[in-house]
Structure 1
Amino acid sequence: MADTPESGWIVVDGARIEWAAWGERGKPGLLLLIGNGAHMGWWRPLASMLARDYRVATFNWSGMGTSDWRDAYPIPTFLDEALGVATDAGLFDAEQRPFLGAHSFGGFLGLQLLIDHGDRFAGGILIDSRMRLKAKWGNQATPAPRFRVHPKKDDTIARFRLIPQQPVENDFFIRMLAEGAVVETEDGWRFRQDFDFRRKTQLEPDMLPLIPHARCPLAFVRGELTQSVTDEIWQAKKAVAPAGTPFVEIPHAHHHVMVDQPIALVSVMRVLLNAFQVPRVQQAGPI
């Protein structure tokens, strides 16, 4: 299976946004959203596997990866980026509506996307996303210091860390993520992410009550060993989600599920995506 993606750029509210896609146009679409501080390379190994059955696309949010920075990051603009990429990458070309997969911070935006535009999607898988803020964002966050610039690429890569940190066995995967997270400038090497991204982004502090307002079916996934989606949050999601909503735990996985259990995550996503396409059986009423 070819791993080389098709790539492209769109412009949303003055910022250039880069996307990548795998699989043939015309297949059912699948849009994958990255988490905070990530880049579209996080989804690359999984996207190439999912492309057997889907036209899969992912992209760098503004302020992340190769995409442009903004003075502020309004939520509606993020949603415009997602819809713009889905359109440009051909995810709406199939007869059926596309699907959504979102990790961590991407789950905040993914849920809002499915609340505002869920009629355009067939279902959404929200992966290890708290839906309830732990850190301070927006006007409550303090200005962040600029990233340090290093003379050598390897010096910057050596500072790459998963946040939150977790045990890592796939060293080659971490090296790939680190390679995509750094950029060379006139002064040296630094991380690509907008260093002040959190202060420039105002998120809804608690999105759990909004889960029932999604306009398409949802499924929730978390790593069995995650420290992000706690048991309290997991149970709170179950309490408000519509009856029959799938909740799946990936064994031996931490928050960054695609890093330590990529094959298991792909398998779970395939099952959930297939389930979205099967009409729910209605219970027979009294005769």
Structure 2
Amino acid sequence: MTAIGSEPAVVDDDAGTGAKGESTRVTFQIPSTTDWIVEALGHQPDLGAVTVGGAQIAFRTWGQQTGRDVMLVHGGGAHSGWWDHIGPLLAERGRVAALDLSGHGDSDHRGQYDMAQWGAEVLEVRRAAGLGPACTVVGHSLGGLITLYLRDKEEAGVDRAIVVDSPIGGPEAQKLPEAGGFVSRRRLYPSREQAMARFRPVPAQASLPEVHEHVASDSVRQKDGGWTWKFDAGIFGGAARMRTTLPRPGGRLAYLRGEIGMVRPAVRSIIEQAGGICLDLPGAGHAPMLDQPAALVASLRAVIAGWDQRS
């Protein structure tokens, strides 16, 4: 069992925050320009919502159902828009859905948060979005912990799971940020632009400008005459209470580790013991969709295609 502290998030930097066997390192051919990101962001998703446990849960979808569908689950303090340049590329072979977990994005807030409730939201959005039974669930950070939680429940039907830089294992496998790197209080900004200018990922890492601006623009909302973050600060209390078992053997499991992210190479042995594969994303921080999205897309496509070939 691993105790998870506060979940890394988008923060206000003034707030004091804010194949089984040997692991594989893959070198990707990264595009020389980011024109593809602009093109991908031009593919507007279809928006929907579903009520789960009394809260309205927002989600977005791309593509058509083919049986090779993908469910994307964001990290703590993030939202479904973090996948807006990833979803369209995965949708070339099937339907893709991404949700805003409760307390995040455009979904409702709750009085308290826990893994079971967030897991129920993922499953209900999977159903509402029309994803097929062979759907691959991809979870980043907190989303990866939720993915592993669902994978351990046979009735959830999560047989294909890809976890992206989630803090599993003990201290030897984690590089958690210092306590000052998490959200500790909220503040209002007088303008949307000023709020966006304070957008920071935790742990600190580089972000491609096009991605940074897009994600930041969808991370703020107007409230009480000013602008603030969409996420509910209460989510971090829920994250602090979380426990996650190590991945169970069986099924199809892949772990994508940001080379300079928050998880140490020791995570490989944990994944291998569960019969999974572990890939390093060269040069990627904790959130590879921000700094190495091409490598992330290439890895996701390769893992999913490999599983499809063995079906």
What TM-score, normalized to structure 2? 0.78
Partner of 1:241: 274
State the distance in 1 between where 2:154 and 2:196 align.
38
Partner of 2:101: 61
State the distance in 2 between where 1:117 and 1:177 align.
34
Alignment-mate amino acid for residue 307 of structure 2: F
By how many angstroms is 1:253 displaced?
A: 1.2
User: 5 Å matches for 1:205-216?
Assistant: 205-207=243-245, 210-213=246-249, 216=251
**Cα distance change, pair 204–189 in 1 and its aligned pair in 2 (3 A):** closer
Partner of 2:265: 231
Secondary structure at the counterpart of residue 263 of structure 1: helix
Contact kept, 8 Å, 1:74 with 1:202, in 2: the verdict is no
Partner of 1:73: 113
Alignment-mate amino acid for residue 166 of structure 2: S
Alignment-mate amino acid for residue 193 of structure 2: D
User: 5 Å matches for 1:128-147?
Assistant: 128-132=165-169, 145-147=184-186
Contact kept, 8 Å, 1:132 with 1:205, in 2: the verdict is no
Please, which runs of 5 or more residues in structure 1 have no aligned partner? 137-143, 281-287
By how many angstroms is 1:64 displaced?
A: 0.5
Q: 1:177 aligns with which of 197, 215, 220?
A: 215
Q: 1:121 aligns with which of 139, 158, 168?
A: 158
Give the percent of matched residue pairs that are identical in Structure 1 and Structure 2.
Answer: 29
Partner of 1:284: none
For each residue in 1:154-204, what CA deviation from the matched residue of structure 2 results, as whole angstroms up to 9, or x when unmatched? 111111101110123x11211111111100123210001101211134544
**Cα distance change, pair 269–206 in 1 and its aligned pair in 2 (3 A):** same
1:8 correspondence with 2:42: no
Please, which runs of 5 or more residues in structure 2 have no aligned partner? 1-39, 178-182
Contact kept, 8 Å, 2:149 with 2:244, in 1: the verdict is no
Partner of 1:165: 204
**Cα distance change, pair 236–122 in 1 and its aligned pair in 2 (3 A):** closer
State the distance in 2 between where 1:29 and 1:145 align.
37
What TM-score, normalized to structure 1? 0.84
Partner of 2:233: 195
Alignment-mate amino acid for residue 306 of structure 2: A
Contact kept, 8 Å, 2:114 with 2:242, in 1: the verdict is no
Of structures 1 and 2, the larger Rg is shown by 1
State the distance in 2 between where 1:61 and 1:205 align.
18
Contact kept, 8 Å, 2:112 with 2:234, in 1: the verdict is no
Secondary structure at the counterpart of residue 222 of structure 1: strand
State the distance in 2 between where 1:32 and 1:126 align.
10
By how many angstroms is 1:235 displaced?
A: 3.4
Alignment-mate amino acid for residue 232 of structure 2: D
Q: 1:43 aligns with which of 78, 83, 94?
A: 83
User: 5 Å matches for 1:211-222?
Assistant: 211-213=247-249, 216-222=251-257
Q: Which stretch of structure 1 is more off in the superposition, 104-113 or 193-202? A: 193-202
Secondary structure at the counterpart of residue 51 of structure 2: strand
**Cα distance change, pair 112–179 in 1 and its aligned pair in 2 (3 A):** same
State the distance in 2 between where 1:201 and 1:128 align.
16
State the distance in 1 between where 2:149 and 2:291 align.
27
Secondary structure at the counterpart of residue 163 of structure 2: strand
For each residue in 1:8-64, what CA deviation from the matched residue of structure 2 results, as whole angstroms up to 9, or x when unmatched? 000111111000000013442210110011010111101011110020000100001
For each residue in 1:83-138, what CA deviation from the matched residue of structure 2 results, as whole angstroms up to 9, or x when unmatched? 1100000103xxx52111111111111000111147623411111111248779xx
Partner of 2:12: none
1:251 correspondence with 2:287: no
State the distance in 1 between where 2:255 and 2:138 align.
10
User: Across the two proteins, how many residue pairs are aligned to each other?
Assistant: 263
Contact kept, 8 Å, 1:107 with 1:131, in 2: the verdict is no
Cα RMSD of the aligned pairs, angstroms, is 2.3
By how many angstroms is 1:263 displaced?
A: 1.2
**Cα distance change, pair 160–236 in 1 and its aligned pair in 2 (3 A):** same
Contact kept, 8 Å, 2:259 with 2:284, in 1: the verdict is yes
Q: 2:63 aligns with which of 9, 23, 39?
A: 23
Alignment-mate amino acid for residue 235 of structure 2: F
